[in-house]
A and B are shown apart, each in its own frame.
Chain A
Amino acid sequence: MPRIREHPILDFKWSERKKIKFTFDSEEIIGYDGDTIASALYASGKRVIRRSFKYHRPRGLFCGIGQCSSCLVKVNGIPNQKACVTPIEEGMVVESQGSIPSAERDLLSLLDALELKHGIQYEKFLGPKFLRPLYFKLFNFVLGSGNVKEEVPKVKFSEGYYPEKEVDVLVIGGGPAGICAAKASAECGARTLLVEERDRIGGELLKQTHKFFGSRRYYSGMRGFRIADVLSKELEKSGAEVMVNTLAIGYLDGKIGVCRDEREFSLVKPKCIVVSTGATERTLMFENNDLPGVMGAGGVQTLMHLYGVKPGEEALIVGSGNVGLILAYQLLQAGVEVKAVIEILPKIGGYFVHAAKIRRMGVEILTSHTIKRAVGRKEVEGAEIVKVDENLREIEGSERFIECDLICLAVGMSPNIEILRQMGCEVVYIPELGGFVAKHDENMETSRAGVFVAGDSSGIEEATTAMIEGEIAGISAALKSGKGRKEHEERREKLKMLLEEMRDNPFGERVVIGKKKMWGA
């Protein structure tokens, strides 16, 4: 099993962990306590987790954090469960959806070979009327969206009454920005609640093994996962309440609906809201970009550092921003060979020192190169890369094949702004901030009074600025809810100055330009 047995920074304590057995497409799989379905499958060499809707192409893990739909499976008869975030349990029955007989060997993959016209299901299967229920079931099966069995108990909603909780400040999302926001708000004396979708707070910090840059006040020089520990403890001390495994579902009439453990639904009535929901990894257009083995950089980090799974033997990284460069170093530490880091622009995107670290270990960084196609039948067996000219157009004849079993996409992120949009905040498109963002002022308040934003969901940046923004948003929200004193206002002004200082460099300039554009928009 490709587990990371030894790691220079992390200790996975394999010998202390309980083994758990479950089945996937009737085959017995052994995972460890703490694994999700996807991590246990990946560690057992099962990369094909599902088949695509229409052509039944093999699909595997992509984001690893429940944001894409690449790994939906049927768990104990209930379809459309995300394999990457569902913990394994003894005796669990996991099946792939819509494949005959299994995801690995799916006879319906013949559909990929036929040239079917897009949308034929809307033309061909309309009549006769009495056959429609049959067609419906058939399509649900073939499309892999599953049919719910009769014996599966339907969730009962209580009639019209849900427990309701009043707070001063509600923080949505427990990454570095959210933790700092909740902490700052609670320190101002506001009744604060933080809700986090995952089983623990820390967000991306939990997956980072390198020492952080930034300011000493914000734990520079400390490894990411340790910063998560320190922040969690500080948050506890501040008196803010934390609810994990809790998803903020939506906003209605001044209340946020939250659902804990996928069962208990309740309402939160806050005076102010801080949204720190982070970002989603982007993908890239190229042939076969859906092959299992093509993964988002964050997904690879999740597999390696949270679940101790070796994500591959030979990797190609697309994108030389800090995420791509750091990932290359982390892959080397996990014992994976990094074939190259490719970058479409003529210069390296991330910090020079991150690039120098991997160059020193012999990893090539190919600037002015991009990926043309992934090669492989059921999983990645290689990649074809190509040089680009100054207009970023592919240069014919410069193609090169790189043998690898893992292609990591580190091509940027987009802010998660769904709930802000739903609350009616004004949204603007600012490329420098990563795409669509909720318009916000220096105090991190959006166009909707009392709704604040912080961290990557306010514009893609890095952890230290996310923490500072979080503090600013937390203080602002507390002040707005009628808590806090003059000293807190003064602290907020100091934080704004610190933020400006942190952005006074070639990397921060981009954000400064983006924020100015946003204010002008």
Chain B
Amino acid sequence: MHEWECTGFFTPEIDLDKLKKKGKILVIECPQRIPCDVCREVCPTNAIIMEKISDVPTLNEEKCVLCLKCVENCPGLAIFLLGVEGEKGYMVVPYEFLPIPKEGDEVKVLDRKGKEVGRGIVKEVRMGDTPLVKVEFSPDILKEARGFKT
């Protein structure tokens, strides 16, 4: 039995140096074998590898063009974009609650357990079936930050 099966949160290894070098990376937090193929099917460059429908998805970073289609469509809301811009860190996460924040709003940045780990500023909101929100914050909390509250 994995610990995440009991706790409901999962902390994959994230290479911050690589993130700083590349500027932005896609993080998939989907460690369990479940019958779902949405990310693979929406990916325009076949960057998500999953042989059988219940396999755990893995990312081919060389093929990934960071189009965010998987982030928007993942039914488990388990894919995130993390990035660094200058002195700031940021995340792009799906958000299905009201009110939908506006650019410039200050929000509470939450970790995987819903605990506040800092404050962030909403930089961009992309409306769609699932709105995507870009939140900027201190780069120190890049490993923890996975959600926010308005």
Q: List residues of A whose CB falls within 8 A of some B CB.
A: 6-9, 210-216, 220-221, 223, 332-333, 335, 346-348, 351-363, 365, 367, 464, 501-508
Query: What DSSP secondary structure best describes chain B's contact surface?
Result: loop
Q: Mark interface residues in B11-39 (1 if CB within 8 Å of A CB, else 0).
A: 00000000000000000011111111110
28 pairs from A and B in contact (CB 8 Å cutoff): A8-B98, A211-B73, A212-B75, A213-B35, A213-B76, A215-B53, A216-B38, A220-B38, A220-B41, A221-B38, A333-B97, A333-B98, A347-B6, A348-B5, A348-B8, A351-B76, A352-B8, A352-B34, A353-B76, A353-B78, A355-B8, A356-B9, A359-B113, A360-B114, A360-B146, A362-B149, A365-B7, A505-B35
Nearest first, the 4 A-B pairs at minimum CB distance are A362-B114, A353-B76, A355-B8, A505-B54
Q: Which of B30, B33, B36 has the most chain A CB atoms closer than 10 A to its own CB?
A: B36
Query: Which of A6, A215, A358 lies in contact with B35, CB distance below 8 A?
Result: A215
Return chain A residues, CB-CB under 8 Å to B75.
210-213, 220-221, 353
Q: Which of A9, A212, A351 has the most chain B CB atoms closer than 10 A to its own CB?
A: A351
B65 at the interface (CB under 8 A from A): no
Return chain A residues, CB-CB under 8 Å to B121.
none
Q: List residues of B whose CB falls within 8 A of some A CB.
A: 1, 4-10, 29-38, 41-42, 52-54, 73-78, 96-98, 100, 110-115, 129-130, 146-147, 149
How many Å lie between the Cα of A507 and that of B36 in the bound state? 12
Whole-angstrom distance between the Cβ of B132 and the nearest chain A Cβ: 14
How many Å lie between the Cα of A365 and that of B9 in the bound state? 11
Known: A347-B5, A502-B53. A357 touches B35 (CB 8 A): no
How many Å lie between the Cα of A346 and that of B113 in the bound state? 18
A501 engages B54 (CB within 8 Å): yes
B115 engages A362 (CB within 8 Å): yes
Known: A8-B97, A354-B76. A504 touches B1 (CB 8 A): no
- B8 nearest CB neighbor, chain A only: A355
Return chain B residues, CB-CB under 8 Å to A221.
38, 41-42, 73, 75
Whole-angstrom distance between the Cβ of A191 and the nearest chain B Cβ: 34
How many Å lie between the Cα of A486 and that of B9 in the bound state? 49
- A367 nearest CB neighbor, chain B only: B6
Whole-angstrom distance between the Cβ of A202 and the nearest chain B Cβ: 19
Query: Which of B30, B53, B114 lies in contact with A359, CB distance below 8 A?
Result: B114
B32 engages A353 (CB within 8 Å): yes
Can you name 9 extra interface pairs (CB under 8 A) apart from A6-B98, A356-B112, A502-B35? Answer: A8-B97, A216-B38, A333-B96, A347-B1, A348-B8, A351-B34, A352-B34, A356-B76, A502-B54
How many Å lie between the Cα of A332 and that of B150 in the bound state? 13
